[in-house]
Amino acid sequence: MAAKQPLADVEDGLLAHLNANAEIPDSRSFASSLGVPHKDVEDVIKRLSAFRIVESADITKETWMLTDEAKGYAARGSPEVQLVAAIPPEGASKGVLRETLGDVFDIGMKAAAKNKWIGFEKGNKDLVLRKVEDTKDELQEQLKRLENGEVIADEVINDLKRRKLVTKEKSIWYSLKKGPEFVVKRKTLATDVTREHLKSGDWKDLEFKDYNYGAQGQPIAIGYSQPLLEVREAIQNIFLEMGFTEMPTNMFVESSFWNFDALFQPQQHPARDSHDTFFLKAPATTTQLPVDYLEKVKQVHQSGGYGSKGYGYDWKRDESEKNLLRTHTTAVSARMLYKLAQEKPFAPKRYYSIDRVFRNEAVDRTHLAEFHQIEGLICDYGLTLGDLIGVLEDFFSRLGMSKLRFKPAYNPYTEPSMEIFSYHDGLKKWVEIGNSGMFRPEMLLPMGLPEGVNVIAWGLSLERPTMIMYEIDNIRDLFGPKVDFNVIKNSPICRLGLKRA
């Protein structure tokens, strides 16, 4: 095997040829004349083009190439001809032919039978007989013609494609001519002063390569923020600007009491069914509930109070002690309001939370079994529905959503209740973005909050505004095991309320 020719020799040969002939019309032919792979010539062309020593033009051609299977047929003959050639005058059994031909036996049998070149002994389907003396191997001829670069008919190509004997490959080669900086011998420019240069003193005669101050540096290995975290931080800053205090939301496991009962949600409500809620097997229940408050909640559910008739059913403590994965962060709001009610004297508060909740829902493009809920509430004397609308307009305008509409709705623990809609300029329609309302007296007064104290509250998911800001149409691309880390890495910085650059 001949030793590989150094690229420096290939470069010298190419420049010498251009100096004598002014052009090289086909880099493949030139590579063959030097006896080197075309890849070596291609590397030299790219290097010389960068220094403007040569000018190159791409020549592109799509050609049909034989597969490895087809190359075997071109050399040894088609499977059907190999099969017929292996059958002696007296015939041969399938087992013998399979052992002789190997992998081509089945293909050869089908093709030879289709051509009516073979038959079977009557009463013995295992014995294969020749029905022709001579065969013309058209397939081998077609493959050899294609291998030699000849043009063959489209119907033949289609038949070869059907048999998976050819594939289309794109070939690129080059035509060359002298560039504006052409030289017969390229001078190698130094890029660094080495220890050897200093010792020998030849650094004085070196010609150095110019620095490219516009070149990009190596990418810096850094961390990247997940889009949800970007939007979460921005929303958190809005709450802090509006004077809110964050609620502790580190308890994913909650009791049915705080998640449902304390919110005046009846025990027969569909949301409390296992089809909608994840209940725990271990520990299945809790006994750590405030007894006095629990009795007041039981009373208001069963027979009412505080101006309410209640629901009129037999309230069961066992049901309220069931542990679950919280379905909303309003369970945390209930705990915080109960704690606030025990503090004397009463002081108005503004609370917010942003954390994970869990619902037993079917996963699709817009729903997950776990997602993040944003919640804000204000507790003070004399609050009205007008105060709630004003706070919502202030909050959402800071998110860049200034066009709002409100629609009456129903919630077990708020009255009145409103759905919040914002006009989406991209979708050209009104989109629901959250829910809101005023907590009912049946929820607040059993806690011990003073008469005349009202609570206005609202909530929305973190995922929906994030999907809108980042133009993501599938929630599974944003959160969960199918998130593409390259999407996170290449995602532009999001600024709420501002257009992205």
Domains identified in the chain and CATH numbers:
227-490 (3.30.930.10)
pLDDT attached to residue 1: 42
Cis ω for the linkage preceding 180 (within 30 of 0):
no
pLDDT attached to residue 222: 79
Dump pLDDT digits (tens) for 463-475: 877 877 777 777 7
User: What value does the mean pLDDT take over residues 333-338?
Assistant: 94
Q: Is 80 exceeded by the pLDDT of residue 492?
A: no
User: What value does the mean pLDDT take over residues 318-334?
Assistant: 92
User: What value does the mean pLDDT take over residues 416-439?
Assistant: 85
Dump pLDDT digits (tens) for 220-236: 777 778 888 888 898 99
Distance (Å, whole) CA 37 – CA 173: 12
How far is residue 420 CA from its own chain's centroid?
A: 30
pLDDT attached to residue 401: 80
pLDDT attached to residue 243: 93
User: What value does the mean pLDDT take over residues 7-21?
Assistant: 88
Q: What is the 3-state secondary structure (H, E, C) of 283-307?
A: CCECCCCCHHHHHHHHHHHHCCECC
User: DSSP label at 496?
Assistant: T
Q: Is 60 exceeded by the pLDDT of residue 496?
A: no
**End-to-end Cα, the chain, rounded Å:** 58
| Single-letter code of the amino acid located at 27 | S
Q: Is 50 exceeded by the pLDDT of residue 501?
A: no
pLDDT attached to residue 150: 82
Task: Extract the tokens encoding 240.
Answer: 């802090």
User: What value does the mean pLDDT take over residues 451-458?
Assistant: 93
Dump pLDDT digits (tens) for 190-209: 888 889 888 888 888 888 87
User: What value does the mean pLDDT take over residues 158-169?
Assistant: 87
Distance (Å, whole) CA 48 – CA 186: 9
Contact between 458 and 436 (Cβ < 8 Å) = yes
Contact between 10 and 34 (Cβ < 8 Å) = yes
User: What value does the mean pLDDT take over residues 420-435?
Assistant: 82
Least confident range of 115-129, 344-358, 461-475: 461-475
List all residues 6 or more positions away from 52 whose beta carbon is below 8 Å from its beta carbon. 179, 180, 181
Q: How many CA atoms lie within 13 A of 106 on its CB side?
A: 1
Q: Is 90 exceeded by the pLDDT of residue 73?
A: no
Pairing status of strand 124-130 against strand 166-178: unpaired
Q: Is 70 exceeded by the pLDDT of residue 500?
A: no
Q: Is 80 exceeded by the pLDDT of residue 495?
A: no
Mean pLDDT of the chain: 86
Contact between 93 and 128 (Cβ < 8 Å) = yes
Residues in the chain: 501
pLDDT attached to residue 159: 87
Could you tell me the pLDDT band of residue 301, with boundaries at 50, 70 and 90?
very high
pLDDT attached to residue 256: 92
Contact between 421 and 431 (Cβ < 8 Å) = yes
Distance (Å, whole) CA 298 – CA 305: 11
Dump pLDDT digits (tens) for 36-54: 988 999 999 998 998 889 9
pLDDT attached to residue 351: 96
pLDDT attached to residue 497: 52
The residue behind tokens 């817009």 is 366
Contact between 308 and 441 (Cβ < 8 Å) = yes
pLDDT attached to residue 5: 63
Least confident range of 3-7, 97-101, 118-122, 375-379: 3-7
pLDDT attached to residue 383: 93
Give the DSSP per-residue string, 233-292.
HHHHHHHHHTT-EEPP----EEEHHHHTGGGT--TT-GGGSTTTS-B-STT-B-----HH
Dump pLDDT digits (tens) for 227-280: 888 888 989 999 999 999 999 998 999 999 999 999 998 888 887 776 678 899
User: What value does the mean pLDDT take over residues 353-376?
Assistant: 85
Helix and strand numbers, DSSP H then E, in the chain? 19, 15
